[in-house]
Structure 1
Amino acid sequence: MSTGSCFLVDDDADDREIFAMALKKAHASYVCDMAKNGADAIKAMQESDIVPGYIFVDLNMPMISGKECVEAFKKIYRLADVPVIVYTTSSHPKDVEDIKNAGADHYLVKPNSFSALVGILEELLTKKELPFYIDANN
């Protein structure tokens, strides 16, 4: 498993760019492959032999939701041990419960500040023990 890489699935180009910048600041050696929707992400993971260190998935995307992505990734044998983190603006308890049941490792509410995102990524990338639900905005 490559711990120096991650895979981000997010339909918002600005969110992908901000995430990439925060990841670079949190850990300069990390690289991040990206997909702009769930269909592309699932196809990419099914057709390649890439094993990222972490997978981040936006919850609310058109066509294929983040929940469906999590479920699909967890069915790919080589990704079974890769931490999957849902990365979303939603803090709705039903979404949190659904994502936990889908098999995600963490539910991360998108922080309101760049520095908060950098801090959370630093903690995740150093394998610090974090709760399932992470909300730096509260």
Structure 2
Amino acid sequence: MEKHICFLIDDDEDDREIFTMALENANESYTCVEAINGREALKLLAKDTAFSPNFIFIDLNMPYLSGKECLQQLKKDSRFSNTPIIMYTTSSYSKDIEETQQLGAAHFLVKPSGMAVLINALTKVLNNEPLPYYLDYSE
């Protein structure tokens, strides 16, 4: 089976672990590659020019390089012009939602509180289901 790649950029270790477990349950053909912040993510992408994730998920609030700054840098790289970039955050602040949409993110996914809800959200995103920009399953 061909492996697909989700690239998760998130400084929270617990959130990375939960995301990886949910991803495995949502679609076993996907594997998760992680970066602990935007700066590390950009270094990895510069070093490995063959690395081509199917989806990129970026936390909004990170040290060194914010999620918005990371998104801007990724959007400048032609390798990712067709790669869906999803903001993955606890924020539901309308200014963050609007700014990231203007910067070219595919979706704004509010981190769900439960594993089953996250699995469901990831399944929909990975299957390219028609979804609104703002995805909040936290209720």
TM-score by length of 1: 0.95
Q: How does 1:87-98 map onto structure 2 within 5 Å? A: 87-98=88-99
Residue of structure 1 equivalent to 2:9:
9
1:6 partner SS: strand
Q: How many residues align?
A: 137
Shift of the 3–86 alpha-carbon distance from structure 1 to 2, 3 Å rule, reads: farther
After superposition, the CA RMSD in angstroms is 1.2
Residue of structure 1 equivalent to 2:69:
68
Q: Distance in 2 between matches of 1:47 and 1:130?
A: 33
1:59 matched to 2:60: yes
Q: Distance in 2 between matches of 1:56 and 1:15?
A: 12
1:11 partner SS: coil
* Alpha-carbon contact 2:3-2:31 (below 8 Å) kept: no
* Alignment deviations for residues 22-61 of structure 1 (CA, whole Å, 9 cap, x no partner): 0000011211100001100011112222111000000000
TM-score by length of 2: 0.95
> How far 1:111 moved relative to its partner?
0.4
Residue of structure 1 equivalent to 2:42:
42
Q: Distance in 2 between matches of 1:85 and 1:45?
A: 17
* Alpha-carbon contact 1:45-1:73 (below 8 Å) kept: no
Residue of structure 2 equivalent to 1:22:
22
One-letter amino acid of the counterpart of residue 98, structure 2: E
One-letter amino acid of the counterpart of residue 115, structure 1: A
